[in-house]
Structure 1
């Protein structure tokens, strides 16, 4: 059953629990004979996914082809990095200095080039069970496969006092495609594993207004409400009410945490730290992500949408001005700031950072000075969390059109993320949609990453 809350606060969590209670939506995902997904072998304890919605042009960023014809290579030049022999775009100077911490996958791709299809596929590792037409945006339902963050929330999250999966903001395919897209929530795992959504600008004090106590409810009244709810706990111990009870308890704990210590309030960060990320919504979203994982949130997805004057990374027109004047500076400042901050705090080794989009862009520049969708080849960046630095995996042809070495698909990227977080991607779980067992992920771990 579908939920449609814009932010998961106290009221929304209670509503979601009621939906699960009366619909039987919560599936049984553990039974005798099934594999325990938690292998315990991953180095990472948390993950920040930086998702560049729209499709970033890999050949203008991470996989440049300076010897290609002008209608393919574009005006940007490659520059040397902190690792001899590795070159990236001149407009990513800060990230160039951090290449010794990065793994660059230059051979990621799939044969589809449609936003909703590839967004769903890259974020769940599975092809949508519902056939999708061109740019057909279907809302999330309980029949969906779960987002990477929801799976980690279900199987790897260990701190019930904080959310396991936070989305900054909620997943939408593009600015011009306004409906909330499938693939961003927990799907058949159930509503308790849906993300807590930060849909407002993190720079606002009430970025998650639903987690703040109403003006007419002080801490004393809030405590009395909790005592009253505790009196009802006896009924909540019945099996069919367990999910509801957990949702209610999480809602209260989140409220307490948000009110008591400003978990989501980035204004509590020193000015120097905020400056490190850049004074823009994208950078401050990454700062919020760091703040959350520092407090044991297991997965934060930062979706680069509604954060730029350009239409995200969907650069069908004016690709190069958009990149040079806005998109690349935002990414360079924000992502490098995140990596620096994590390293300075001693968190990078246990925090996996992933930067990717749903696909790459066409080798040939179109008549509007843009690049169109191109699913066949793209780049994915990883850092921290046990991933090797100064590492290039795979290669593309002379026009960055097709992988020529070590081709990988979305399921392989997802499997590698699970592996880094200590999950066995081939563990068997129950799919309640068809009452059958299936692997957590059908991809293979990219061994060269680790």
Structure 2
């Protein structure tokens, strides 16, 4: 459905000369598409794209629940059990570096990755850690009372929508979950993706039913390549109503009557056309995976793998990574892909390490390897930075049930692409894989690396429309020195 929200943004005088009206795509959750960003305010769009915004994008693969740093990128097999990987190790393409045993294909990409083995922060509870990590540490206690998500900050700097395509700058890709524990993780990740003090205009593109796992449009896709995002897009938008031009024009006319004397919405017919083009055209095509070559779909397809603990569903991680690539090509600047289920306690709600990694580890191995190969094939490796992380790591010790518990002193963090220096290991864990032995890396430094990849700080400092406060927020984030070009 198409909803018109005529509430003001910013100040308005008695004649309405500074009023800005919004066109919102409601059921789809395309965030808030400002008419000025899409059409009228072209001058601002040109400045924001031409000067300090680099032609790059970030895809953040977020492993919620707390992916083990040991069974992923630091198997530590020279140490005695329980301080080494329960799934063993595999040799990688980077001399002297091994990955966890469920990453055999990804290990072949190690020479094009940067592995951080000293990622650390102080928060060991899921909900707070999600907020802390996804905010780049700007909310120090993870209470969602300070700061803002990294993606929202990027959208604030970049603009809420791509100036040419209108595609949202910031997106969160999730999937309706069947397992109750996984549904909890959806809500936590959504909370961590919040815009905070930047305001709701910078919230991510997200479907509400993907957050809650509820709603009428959560039915399973019939086949890979015809996923729920594209299907729900059509269901939620109600094409019949959109194509009823009489009803639509009546809504637009309502906006015209509210417009100020200076003609802020004088070209409402153009707004209507561009909005419809985005909704029914380019955005819909982005989510239509059937347009991909069968070979590409097959490479990404993880649907043969079942994920869950009490209730299972087919994995869509490959599907989501492919969507992330298509979204970046359509103009998105920051896409978070949510992978649930990494909380491997071996308790009533979660599997143990071996079972969990045999489920999620192999899935990630296939999906991420396909993504990296796809980027390389399409000449996008230097344009797109992939970041892999989660809320925290796992205990270096193994509990009596065969699981590992929450551990914030070390966590999982890896990078690939983006034109950054790859083929290196950054930092070192101690002998027991419990704490950084040197060079501790924080969420703030992860955020700084992302911001330095996406934006030219020197040009930003002298750009019009960028406030000193915003510049300070950016400069407070310090990049990982080894990844600064």
| TM-score normalised by the chain length of structure 1 | 0.78
For 1:443, the equivalent position in structure 2 comes to 477
Conserved 8 A contact 1:339-1:348: yes
Gaps of 5+ in 2: 13-18, 21-31, 33-46, 211-217, 304-314
For 2:294, the equivalent position in structure 1 comes to 271
For 2:113, the equivalent position in structure 1 comes to 102
How far residue 81 of structure 1 moved from its aligned partner, in angstroms, is 1.0
Per-residue deviation, residues 190-237 of structure 1 (Å, max 9, x unmatched): 22221111425771341334663433442xx34873586278357446
Per-residue deviation, residues 73-109 of structure 1 (Å, max 9, x unmatched): 2432222111211211121011111111111111110
For 2:123, the equivalent position in structure 1 comes to 112
For 2:329, the equivalent position in structure 1 comes to 294
- Classify the secondary structure of the residue corresponding to 2:192: coil
Q: Out of 400-409 and 271-280, give the one that drifted further.
A: 271-280
For 1:322, the equivalent position in structure 2 comes to 355
Conserved 8 A contact 1:44-1:385: no
For 1:212, the equivalent position in structure 2 comes to 237
For 2:281, the equivalent position in structure 1 comes to 260
2:162 to 159, 162, 168: 159
For 2:27, the equivalent position in structure 1 comes to none
What is the alpha-carbon distance in structure 1 between the residues aligned to residue 404 and residue 483 of structure 2? Answer: 29
For 1:51, the equivalent position in structure 2 comes to 62
How far residue 159 of structure 1 moved from its aligned partner, in angstroms, is 1.7
How far residue 391 of structure 1 moved from its aligned partner, in angstroms, is 1.2
Conserved 8 A contact 2:148-2:198: yes
Conserved 8 A contact 1:10-1:211: no
Query: In structure 2, do the counterparts of structure 1 residues 171 and 249 end up closer, same or farther at CA, with 3 Å as the change threshold?
Result: farther
- Classify the secondary structure of the residue corresponding to 1:387: coil
Query: In structure 2, do the counterparts of structure 1 residues 111 and 324 end up closer, same or farther at CA, with 3 Å as the change threshold?
Result: closer
- Classify the secondary structure of the residue corresponding to 1:208: helix
Q: How does 1:176-187 map onto structure 2 within 5 Å?
A: 176=184, 179=187, 181-187=190-196
How far residue 123 of structure 1 moved from its aligned partner, in angstroms, is 0.9
Q: Out of 92-101 and 256-265, give the one that drifted further.
A: 256-265
- Classify the secondary structure of the residue corresponding to 1:121: helix
How far residue 165 of structure 1 moved from its aligned partner, in angstroms, is 0.9
What is the alpha-carbon distance in structure 2 between the residues aligned to residue 167 and residue 131 of structure 1? Answer: 19
Q: Out of 258-267 and 325-334, give the one that drifted further.
A: 258-267
Conserved 8 A contact 1:43-1:349: no
Gaps of 5+ in 1: 1-8, 27-35, 133-137, 306-311
CA RMSD, aligned part only?
3.9
Query: In structure 2, do the counterparts of structure 1 residues 378 and 178 end up closer, same or farther at CA, with 3 Å as the change threshold?
Result: closer
How far residue 413 of structure 1 moved from its aligned partner, in angstroms, is 0.5
| TM-score normalised by the chain length of structure 2 | 0.73
Q: Out of 190-199 and 387-396, give the one that drifted further.
A: 190-199
Task: Please say if 1:389 is aligned against 2:422.
Answer: yes
Query: In structure 2, do the counterparts of structure 1 residues 109 and 441 end up closer, same or farther at CA, with 3 Å as the change threshold?
Result: farther
How far residue 337 of structure 1 moved from its aligned partner, in angstroms, is 0.8
How far residue 303 of structure 1 moved from its aligned partner, in angstroms, is 1.1
Query: In structure 2, do the counterparts of structure 1 residues 211 and 295 end up closer, same or farther at CA, with 3 Å as the change threshold?
Result: farther
Conserved 8 A contact 1:42-1:419: no
What is the alpha-carbon distance in structure 2 between the residues aligned to residue 177 and residue 387 of structure 1? Answer: 31
Task: Please say if 1:191 is aligned against 2:200.
Answer: yes
Q: In the comparison of the two structures, how many residue pairs are matched?
A: 407
For 2:342, the equivalent position in structure 1 comes to 313
What is the alpha-carbon distance in structure 1 between the residues aligned to residue 148 and residue 399 of structure 2? Answer: 36
What is the alpha-carbon distance in structure 2 between the residues aligned to residue 354 and residue 48 of structure 1? Answer: 6
- Classify the secondary structure of the residue corresponding to 1:302: strand
- Classify the secondary structure of the residue corresponding to 1:163: coil
